[in-house]
Amino acid sequence: MVGSATLNALCALEQSKSCEIYACTHTTTVSTASHQVIPYKCNMLDTTAVNSMLKDIQPNCLVHLAWGGHGSKNHNVASHWEWLKASLTLAEAFGRQGGKRLIATGSVHEYSPTNHPRNETTSPTVPSTQYGRIKLALSHALTATGEQFNFSVLWPRLPYVIGPNCAPSLLLGEALNAARTHSHFTTRINEQTVFELIDSRDAGKLIAMSIFNDLCGIINFGSGHCINIAGMVRKLFSIGNQDKLLTFADQRLPQQTALLDSLYLQQTLEPNFHFYNPEDCLTDYLANGISHENKSNIFC
């Protein structure tokens, strides 16, 4: 989701009009309507292919968004280690070709579980999952690689990403699991468990904008929005016509509550930048997704 959103946002920026934009993909197509994007088929886990790709393209800027699985739902630790090694191979090859700027995405999983906002400079980073530990290690390794090859590194940490292709059953399952286990995506505000979200279009636009500024280091790319899990369940059941289940979850969603706090994000934003509010767009996401899913698998 974030890759496609970043491509679309990048092509819409005036600064990109004079740029050659390559999209690394395991197929020969990319999910954007822009003819400005040149697809490049490459297996990111194949060291030889990665080195060949970067030698061919010799990019000034590299945006690395690929990963083989994310979050607590993926227990395949070997896969995470594969992607850690592949990411370092990519960064080193980028540096050897004279690259100048690398952007790679991190996760809220890198922080310790807490009921307080996560801040880049003050919040403890003692991850409770293998995924979080590997992502945290990669952030430090990429920083060191950038220093070795003299390119800048930006590491945006993202909360849970929703978008038009988000499956409602997956989103609901993640939210309920997060509430049950007190995971990184949730906290308690006014005695209510809330789930932090960012729209994929917002995440993509923030990443695309960051290509053309000099923001470096670890930055939280949080939307400032979270959603009451009970309220989300209420919306989901309402779409599924499960009216009898609405009473236990009839709560309002909290407004403008930042869980992934940032001291630096405002430096990247345009004066008129407004985040999508999950309360406004969640119904559309869920409705679109449910039309493509078996309702009996969701409302059981």
What's the confidence (pLDDT) of residue 286?
A: 56
* Strand 217-220, strand 152-158: pairing: parallel
Q: In whole angstroms, give the CA distance from residue 130 to residue 127.
A: 8
pLDDT of residue 297: 34
pLDDT at 58: 94
* pLDDT for res 294: 39
The string of DSSP letters for the chain reads -HHHHHHHHHHHSGGGGGS-EEEEESSS--S---TTEEEEE--TT-HHHHHHHHHHH--SEEEE---S--STT---HHHHHHHHHHHHHHHHHHHHTT--EEEE-EEGGGSPP-SS-B-TTTS----SSHHHHHHHHHHHHHHHHHHHHT-EEEEEEE-EEE-TT--HHHHHHHHHHHHHHT-TTEEEETTEEEEEEEEHHHHHHHHHHHTTS---EEEE---S-EEEHHHHHHHHHHHTT-GGGSGGG--PPP-S--SB--SSGGGG--TT--PPPHHHHHHHHHHHHHTTS-HHHH--
Domain tally for the chain?
1
**pLDDT at position 237:** 60
Please give the residue range of the domain that contains residue 92: 2-298
DSSP of 201-231, one letter per residue?
A: HHHHHHHHHHTTS---EEEE---S-EEEHHH
- What are the average pLDDT values for consecutive 10-residue runs of the chain, which has 300 residues? 88 87 77 72 92 94 84 63 94 96 93 80 88 94 97 93 67 67 64 74 91 91 74 61 39 48 67 66 56 36
Amino acid at 8: N
CATH number at residue 30: 3.40.50.720
The predicted structure's pLDDT at residue 94? 97
Residue 91 CA to residue 153 CA, distance in Å, equals 10
Q: How many CB atoms are closer than 10 A to CB 47?
A: 15
Rg for the chain, CA atoms, rounded: 19
Alpha carbon distance 26, 3 (integer Å): 13
- How high is the pLDDT of residue 151? 97
Looking at residue 154, its pLDDT comes to: 96
pLDDT given at position 139: 97
CA 256 to chain CA mean position, Å: 19
Q: What is the pLDDT of residue 104?
A: 97
Each residue of 221-235: b (16+ CB within 10 Å) or e? Answer: bbbbbbbbbbbbbbb
User: What is the b/e burial string over 171-194, where b = at least 16 CB atoms within 10 angstroms of the residue's CB?
Assistant: bbebbeebbeeebbbbbeeeebbb
| Axis-axis angle for helices 200-210, 2-12 (nearest 10) | 50
Nearest by Cα to 259 from 203, 215, 194: 194
β-strands 226-228, 192-199 pairing:
antiparallel
| Token pair for 33 | 């309507």
pTM, entire model: 0.82
CB 199 within 8 A of CB 170: no
